[in-house]
Amino acid sequence: MEQERARATLEPVIQQKVLQSVEMLLNEFDPELAGDLKKPDGVKELMERDPITAGILNHMAGSVSALTAELVRLHDPNGGVNYDPANPAHKELSDFILGQEDRISKLPRPDQVRDGKRFIGRMAFGRLPQDQKAAYWFLDQDDVAYLLAQKYAIQAKKIRDAEVEKFNATAERLGYQKIDGAKPKPKPAGERSAQHANGATGAPTPNYCPRRNSPRRSHSRPAAPNRTG
C-alpha cells in the first residue's frame, strides 16, 4: 500500500518531465515549429500542411516520452523500479548514458568543466569520498533527458529529410513540380526533368549544439552529441 501511494505521488513528476522532454525535442527539431504547435489547432494544421513531419515527430515524441518516464522511475527510489537489462528501455538508457559519458570524457579538459567542476562518470562519482564529490559533476536525470531529446531530434531531422527527398524524387518522376503556396501541378511535357526539388519543404539545417532557451536548468549543459551520437 505504501509503495502504491509513493508511485501515485511520483506520477505527476513523471508527466511534468515527459512534457519537458517533448518540448525540448520539438525545440531542438525546429524552434519555430515548436511555437506553432502550441497554438490552437497547431497540431492539426501541421498534419494537414506537412503529414510527413507530423508523423515523424509523433513517433519520436512517443519514444522520448516512454524513455523519460522510465528514466524518472529508475532514478527515484519511490518509483519501485529496478534496472532490468532484459528491458529494452532500460538497456537503451544504460547504453546511451555510458556512450555519452565516454564521449564527454574524451573532450578537451576545459570542455568537461561545468560550474567549475570536473566531469566524472556516475559510477565513479558514487565511489568518491563524500568530501570530494563537490569538485565533480556527472550526467544527472535532467542532463540525460535533455541529451535524449536532442538525439531523437537529430534522428527526426535525418528521417524527415530522407522522406522528403524520396517524396520529391517520386513527384519529379511523375512530372509534378512543387510550387510554394500551391498544390503541385504537372509540368509541361517538354519541361520535365530529372532534377529533384531540393529544400522544397523549407527544412531547417540540423543544429547539433544545445539551445539556451530550452526548458533546462540555468547552469551550462553537457556538450551536445555529435552526428553519430
Domain boundaries, the chain: 2-93+141-191
How big, in percent rounded to 5, are the helix, strand and coil portions of the chain? 60, 5, 35
The model's confidence at residue 208, banded by pLDDT at 50, 70 and 90, is: very low
> 3 or 118: whose pLDDT is higher?
118
- For the residues of 139-205, what is the DSSP string, one character each? --HHHHHHHHHHHHHHHHHHHHHHHHHHHHHHHHHTTEE--TTS--EEPPGGG--S---TTTT-PPP
Of 191 and 122, more confident:
122
- pLDDT at 151 > cutoff 60: yes
Q: How far apart are CA 114 and CA 126, in angstroms?
A: 18
Give the type of residue at 82.
N
- Lowest-confidence region among 3-17, 32-46, 197-211: 197-211
At 181-192, the pLDDT tens digits run 544 444 444 443
Arithmetic mean of pLDDT, 69-86: 89
Higher pLDDT, 17 or 225: 17
